[in-house]
Structure 1
Amino acid sequence: MDKGFLKAGNPRTLLAAFLYFDVSFMVWVLLGPLGISISHDLHLNAGQKGFLVAIPVLAGALLRVVAGALVDHFGARRVAIGMQTLVIVGLAATWAAAPHTYAGLFPVALVLGVAGASFAVALPLASGWYPPQYQGTALGIAGAGNSGTALASLFAPGLAVLYGWVNVLGLATLPLLAVLIAFLFLAKEPPRRHPGNGIVAWLPVLKTNDCWALMFFYGVTFGGFVGLASFLTIYFNDQYGLAPAVAGSCTALVVFVGSFVRPLGGALADRIGGDRALSILYGIAAIIFAIIGVGLPTIWLAFPAFFLGMVTLGLGNGAVFQLVPTRFPRQIGILTGLVGMSGGVGGFYLASSLGAARQATGSYGPGFLAFALISLIALGWVSLCHRRWKAASPAQSSSLDELSAA
């Protein structure tokens, strides 16, 4: 770790952002690891399973825009405390109500979506303490909190077998409460915060090509990551006949590695540029998921492929968010919300499309092949952006900064 980085910001707040992000993501994707038990209890088909685990992902995506705007107005620390409290209360109420119908799980999905919106809070909390040269590393460390998705995959399937999936929702409030208490003591509001103007501030940003490019890039990298994190336990169980606990452990391992390489992706982007890093990573992702889509007959072949795929997507997540403060230095909160929203939408697409592909064709292959094609499209777009940004004059960059300040 660079000594300059350790002295440049606030390590306690960075740790608080990581912990908050970690437990929030743990509960955000909880329906995926619980999906095997839920589907057996409620007799769900493949399409219903895919849609169910995708709903919290979409809800979190949409709520990230709201969370990003709230951060610009009230500060990341205050918003984090309020959102964490809301999730704890919502999960406790769900556990008490004990829903046992497919429709009854939709309110649960909305509560979990609030946890997913933590992305737009944790990253500005960390980013506001660090100078531009360390943005990729700081955001990568905070963003490694998406490892919480692995914790859900590791523990939830086994706990559901022992205690029932409804009780697992209640147990999830315990780590949330512990982290909230730690957060109150560790986190400090960043010194650099630029108050936003609500929806008025979003419109000029949405008119820029860079905003839509970053949204699409993250929709592929993080969408792939969270979509797989939500669905792989079900996939491994259905495709290869793994027991729920074993399927969850396999998912947890690939998600862990995808989470913890995210800081490396940010550091790589700091060194060679986020656009160059993404050009390499999208090409690799397209190859890997095309191979998975064609079909791998055993778990011994599939597991290494998903392992490498998650490493690639995790590095890409860090690389994309190195570009956010670089292209929009004065509206990180809004951009984090917009870009984070697109990542969640990408995750909703992947998880639901895999279930739909299985329901319609009897195979998950078409869903993975479509994702490989989307990765190729991202490779072409980031290549175009690289040439445009390289050719941009300082005057154009100044204009972008002025737009971000509007």
Structure 2
Amino acid sequence: MTAPSPAPAARRGGRWIEHWDPEDETFWRGTGERTARRNLLFSVLSEHIGFSVWTLWSVMVLFMGPEYGLTPADKFVIVSLATLVGAVVRVPYTFAVAVFGGRLWTVVSASLLLVPTVAAFAVMEPGTSFGTFLACAMLAGVGGGNFASSMTNINAFFPLRRKGWALGLNAGGGNIGVPVVQLAGLAVIGAGGGPRLLLGIYIPLIVAAAVLAWLRMDSIASVRNDTGAARDAAKDPHTWIMSFLYIGTFGSFIGYSFAFGLVLQTQFGRTPLQAAYVTFVGPLLGSLIRPVGGSLADRFGGARITLWNYVAMAAATAVVVAASMRASLPLFTTAFIALFVLSGLGNGSTFKMIPGIFHAKALARGLTGEAAAAHGRRLSGASMGLIGAVGALGGLGINLAFRQSFLTVGSGTGAFVAFLVFYGLCFAVTWAVYLRRPAVTKTPATPAAEAKPRLSYAEV
């Protein structure tokens, strides 16, 4: 006889949930799904504004004309430093959820967004030194950390069968902060406003996100204080393999988001307003399709979707190279936007793979049921911050590659050729690690069960 599920609403002060078992269908249908969806909603809001603050400087540099005394190379350095800090802070942000709880850390991380926004508001004017702009761009990097803590937190709320959808929606809703801030920048430029007006719009939104997280979110007690999970995740080779693959998807998305407007200005002579009319389209479509990538991965397996997505990304990059060499702005823009869409799709499928991989490894160790699910949640949640941090460093690589390409050959063509080669490597790694069938051996000493985890990776 099956024992009844524990009461789902047992809590202690400060909106802590003592019992959480999303794999239990009775628990999930009773109160689990409703609670998970509510936390997902307010997590998305905070992460969304975090992405907007992180990528503010991709818009700000479009405002910064000759009176600011900055070269195109200087502007690539500014956005590169914002990308770098956003990548690095993802590591501590991931582990902060286990230390403080998801609710409290969401409030703190949202409140911290006031620092770079107010600082940029104070210094944004001609005559400010290049070093001051660099410092403000680095402060904006804290917005990149919100993704890591948000994904770690939401990963614990949903059952394995819904993680692709939930993580895709959480990340996609956050990613949409990139095109939203670019659309806001377009509106400000079109209305004849300045960068301070754009910054002023976000200050009350940051306060609202922090207050709503405090009032409406929860923390899961079982997630707290498991610092050993970080150590175990760092030791697992799949954490670093998936980090490499995530460079190709999210690294592309965030790197292109920062660089698109600058490339249009520098290579094709677009004005700030002309660039702003186009730059938001790619990040918008890439963000909207991320949940689709997660859902496709739920249905067909993240490894399969990721593999063929890299093929499509390589093909789109080849078209971008051809358009760059022919100086064809319409073809270049179309292919570049296609790259955004594919990077968003791949973001969803790669992140769906992570919990599936660790769950498969738990089953291979002989764990079953909730024990296997809890082990998978523990390691996948810890690994997501590391994977997100390394993936975001890919955005830094993209901006530095563009800077070097423009300094060396006067266009972005050289950078795109390098990206094409990298997508080929990502395809090879995905196939070799997660889809290639291991050789069949007839040696009786090798139990068949040992090969099963390798085969099951195709379904993750």
Task: Output the TM-score relative to the length of structure 2.
Answer: 0.79
**Is the Cα–Cα contact under 8 Å of residues 168 and 291 in structure 2 kept in the other structure?**
yes
Deviations 1:126-154 (A, max 9, x none): 22211000000000000112010001211
Measure how far apart 1:294 and its partner are.
3.0
Equivalent position of 2:93 in the other structure:
67
CA distance in 1, matches of 2:448, 2:150: 33
**Residue from 416, 430, 443 that aligns with 1:382:** 430
Equivalent position of 2:184 in the other structure:
155
Equivalent position of 1:299 in the other structure:
329
Superposition pairs of residues 220-239 of structure 1, within 5 angstroms:
220-239=248-267
| Residues 35 and 396 of structure 1, relative CA distance in 2, 3 Å threshold | farther
Equivalent position of 2:165 in the other structure:
137
CA distance in 1, matches of 2:338, 2:224: 39
**Residue from 205, 210, 219 that aligns with 2:238:** 210
CA distance in 2, matches of 1:280, 1:331: 27
Deviations 1:20-59 (A, max 9, x none): 1111101101111111222534222232221211111110
**Residue from 350, 369, 374 that aligns with 2:417:** 369
Superposition pairs of residues 72-221 of structure 1, within 5 angstroms:
72-98=98-124, 100-144=128-172, 145-159=174-188, 162-190=192-220, 193=223, 195-197=225-227, 201-221=229-249
CA distance in 1, matches of 2:157, 2:299: 20
CA distance in 2, matches of 1:322, 1:113: 25
CA distance in 2, matches of 1:42, 1:396: 61
**Is the Cα–Cα contact under 8 Å of residues 302 and 350 in structure 2 kept in the other structure?**
yes
CA distance in 2, matches of 1:393, 1:157: 59
**Residue from 397, 401, 407 that aligns with 1:359:** 407
Measure how far apart 1:160 and its partner are.
5.3
**Is the Cα–Cα contact under 8 Å of residues 295 and 365 in structure 1 kept in the other structure?**
no
RMSD: 2.5
Deviations 1:295-316 (A, max 9, x none): 3433321222122211111010
Task: Output the TM-score relative to the length of structure 1.
Answer: 0.89
| Residues 242 and 97 of structure 1, relative CA distance in 2, 3 Å threshold | closer
Aligned residues: 394
CA distance in 2, matches of 1:310, 1:71: 30
CA distance in 1, matches of 2:155, 2:234: 22
**Is the Cα–Cα contact under 8 Å of residues 153 and 252 in structure 1 kept in the other structure?**
yes
Measure how far apart 1:358 and its partner are.
0.7
| Residues 204 and 167 of structure 1, relative CA distance in 2, 3 Å threshold | same
Please identify, of 240-249 and 222-231, the stretch whose mean Cα deviation from structure 2 is larger.
Answer: 240-249
CA distance in 2, matches of 1:34, 1:398: 48
Would you say 1:284 and 2:332 are equivalent positions?
no
Equivalent position of 1:343 in the other structure:
391
Measure how far apart 1:83 and its partner are.
1.4
Measure how far apart 1:393 and its partner are.
6.7
| Residues 213 and 367 of structure 1, relative CA distance in 2, 3 Å threshold | same
Please identify, of 362-371 and 234-243, the stretch whose mean Cα deviation from structure 2 is larger.
Answer: 234-243
Kindly indicate whether structure 1 or structure 2 has the higher relative contact order, using CA contacts under 8 Å at least 6 residues apart: 1
Measure how far apart 1:260 and its partner are.
0.8
Please identify, of 204-213 and 348-357, the stretch whose mean Cα deviation from structure 2 is larger.
Answer: 204-213
Deviations 1:186-211 (A, max 9, x none): 322246525332xx654443333211
**Is the Cα–Cα contact under 8 Å of residues 71 and 333 in structure 1 kept in the other structure?**
no
Deviations 1:109-130 (A, max 9, x none): 2221111100111112222211
Would you say 1:322 and 2:370 are equivalent positions?
no
**Is the Cα–Cα contact under 8 Å of residues 39 and 45 in structure 1 kept in the other structure?**
no
What secondary structure does 1:377 align onto? helix
Larger Rg: 2
Would you say 1:331 and 2:360 are equivalent positions?
no
**Is the Cα–Cα contact under 8 Å of residues 275 and 385 in structure 1 kept in the other structure?**
no
Measure how far apart 1:388 and its partner are.
6.1
CA distance in 1, matches of 2:248, 2:29: 31
Please identify, of 352-361 and 188-197, the stretch whose mean Cα deviation from structure 2 is larger.
Answer: 188-197
Please identify, of 356-365 and 258-267, the stretch whose mean Cα deviation from structure 2 is larger.
Answer: 356-365
CA distance in 2, matches of 1:310, 1:97: 32
Structure 1 spans left out of the alignment, 5+ residues: 400-406
The residue type equivalent to 1:287 in the other structure is A
Would you say 1:31 and 2:57 are equivalent positions?
yes
Please identify, of 328-337 and 354-363, the stretch whose mean Cα deviation from structure 2 is larger.
Answer: 328-337
Deviations 1:239-275 (A, max 9, x none): 3333323312311111111001000101111111111
The residue type equivalent to 1:314 in the other structure is G
CA distance in 2, matches of 1:235, 1:86: 31
| Residues 390 and 51 of structure 1, relative CA distance in 2, 3 Å threshold | farther
The residue type equivalent to 1:123 in the other structure is M
**Is the Cα–Cα contact under 8 Å of residues 100 and 224 in structure 2 kept in the other structure?**
no
Equivalent position of 1:243 in the other structure:
271
**Is the Cα–Cα contact under 8 Å of residues 97 and 224 in structure 2 kept in the other structure?**
no
Percent identity over the alignment is 26
CA distance in 2, matches of 1:195, 1:398: 29
**Is the Cα–Cα contact under 8 Å of residues 291 and 348 in structure 2 kept in the other structure?**
yes
